Amino acid sequence: MQTLMTSTFAERLKTVLEEQNIKQVELCEKANIGKSAMSQYLHGAFIPKQQKLTAIAEVLGVSEKWLMGYDVSRNTLDSKPSESEMEVIVKDNSMKKMNIPKGARARIRKTDNIRQAKIVSFTLNDEGPMLRFYHSDGDRIILTAADPAYPPIICGADDLETGKLIIHGEIIQVTIKIK
């Protein structure tokens, strides 16, 4: 199912600011975004990158997808995962270089068809869930962190069969709590 865009980011942002009677400068302070960047967002010159989008959506209490103009529920930021999804709390900073820090909430789409180089959630030896990039080269599964300080995890295909390695699925959304 494809979700259609019905509005622009700038239109949605202006609407929410008016409805909630929030001034641009107040949103800048709460979301930790410069006044110049916010002005460009409001005029439609640019759309924010993921981290700024997440901060704006959290401050305003709306869904990121809705804020981007998609025809989805406005208040889905804290919606429950569907039957084919799960949520995990990130337990380390191994993926921080991908803007997924410790403590972030990651929504995972459960699937058996994992694609190369996608970020996956997994459990190894009953420890987890953890997040890493997924690579497979035949009989081996290589799970690598974005931070090279975390060594790669190399497992055999038989580790999946025995349950030593359980891959939950691919990451589809990250929510970071802004202080």
Query: Which pLDDT value is given to residue 77?
Result: 42
Four-residue CA torsion sign, 147, 151, 155, 159: negative
What is the 3-state composition of the chain as percent helix, strand, coil, each rounded to the nearest 5? 30, 25, 45
Q: Which of 88, 113, 114, 109 is nearest to 175 (CA)?
A: 88
Residue 123 forms part of a structural domain? yes
pLDDT of residue 4: 55
What's the structural domain count of the chain? 2
- Quote the domain boundaries for residue 108: 85-175
Q: Are residues 22 and 60 in the same domain?
A: yes
What count of other Cβ atoms lies within 10 Å of the Cβ of residue 94? 23
The whole-angstrom separation of Cα 116 and Cα 45 is: 34
Distance, in Å, from the CA atom of 100 to the CA atom of 60, rounded to the nearest integer, reads 21
44: CATH: 1.10.260.40
End-to-end CA distance of the chain: 35
Q: For residue 139, give the CATH number of its domain.
A: 2.10.109.10
What are the pLDDT digits (tens) for 81-137? 667 888 899 999 999 998 888 888 888 888 888 888 899 999 999 888 999 999 998
Residue 77 lies in a domain: no
Inside any domain, residue 34: yes
Please indicate, yes or no, whether residues 107 and 151 belong to a single structural domain of this protein.
yes
Shared domain for 62 and 120, answered yes or no, is: no
- Burial of residue 125, with CB atoms counted within 10 A of its CB: 0-12 exposed, 13-18 middle, 19 or more buried: exposed
Whether pTM > 0.85 for this model: the answer is no
